[in-house]
Amino acid sequence: MRETLYRLAPEQCALLVVDIQERMMQAIPARDEVVKNAALLMKAANILGVPILATTQYAARIGALLPEIQAELAGVIPLDKLEFGCFANGPIGAAAKRLPKEINTIVVCGVETHICIYQTVAGGLLQGYRMWVPADGVASRVEKNYATGLARISEIGGIVANTEMIIYEWLQKAGTPAFKAILPFIK
């Protein structure tokens, strides 16, 4: 089997939710899609036992995470940052290091694709993680920046997928209790 081909397994993954804050999201044309898919990934992560990390960008100025995202945090306290890349922030990097040792893959959703998501993917790759980005769970203020961000993420070794691909790969099959718990949110 090729080194780059592997199965996305929930026990090897964490979900990183980046900067889905009110003032930030007001400028994002794909706001509703990103919020819906980030919340769906968070629901699936909570059902499947995938650890969640969440960040805010300069919360004192940009505000808290959106209520839809806060509702899915399940006790996770968002970590604030000034850095664009999450792994450049000491507390966020330390939180990633505290994840179970089996975790080798981080799924990243949020904004903005060409800034914080791209720099976070690059930082995670440098830390040795496999980095996945759902194209429908990230966005930028400008479509060209979004497209360029996804292209660059792919070029450096990040995996670009979509929300349902990630969730269904985590699930692997129908009929399980986890599948039945997640299905109502996907329909």
Find the CATH number of the domain harbouring 22.
Answer: 3.40.50.850
| CA separation for the pair 134, 89 (Å, rounded) | 23
For the chain, counts of helices (H) and of strands (E): 9, 7
Q: How far apart, in whole angstroms, are the C-alpha atoms of residue 148 and residue 136? A: 15
DSSP label at residue 113 = I
pLDDT at 6: 85
Question: What was the pLDDT predicted at 15?
Answer: 98
Is the residue at 39 inside a domain?
yes
Residue 1 lies in a domain: no
Per-residue pLDDT, 133: 98
* In-domain check, residue 31: yes
Instruction: Tell me the average pLDDT across 148-177.
Output: 97
| Confidence at residue 5, expressed as pLDDT on a 0 to 100 scale | 76
3-state secondary structure of 94: helix
CB atoms within 10 A of CB 169: 15
Q: What is the mean pLDDT of residues 51-65?
A: 97
> pLDDT band at residue 1, thresholds of 50, 70 and 90?
very low
The reply to whether 156 falls in a domain is yes
Domain that holds residue 64: 10-186
Percent with pLDDT over 70 in the chain? 98
Residue 122 has pLDDT above 70, yes or no: yes
Token pair recorded at residue 179: 């599948």
Tokens of 37: 């898919």
Residue 158: per-residue pLDDT: 97
Give domain status of residue 76, yes or no. yes
Q: What is the pLDDT of residue 3?
A: 60
Which residue in 12, 31, 117 sits closest to 69, CA to CA?
31
In a domain, 42, yes or no: yes
Q: Determine contact, residues 56/86, Cβ cutoff 8 Å.
A: no
Answer whether 17's CB lies under 8 Å from 110's CB. Answer: yes
Helices 163-171 and 177-186 pack at an angle, to 10 degrees, of 160
Task: Kindly state the tokens that stand for 48.
Answer: 């499947």
Sequence-ordered strand ranges (E) for 11-153? 13-18, 52-57, 79-81, 105-111, 130-134, 138-139
pLDDT band, residue 71 (cuts 50/70/90): very high
Q: Is residue 4 part of a domain?
A: no
Mean pLDDT of 68-79: 96
Number of domains the chain is built from: 1
pLDDT digits (tens, 9 = 90+) for 11-37: 999 999 999 999 999 999 999 999 999
Q: Does residue 2 lie in a domain region?
A: no
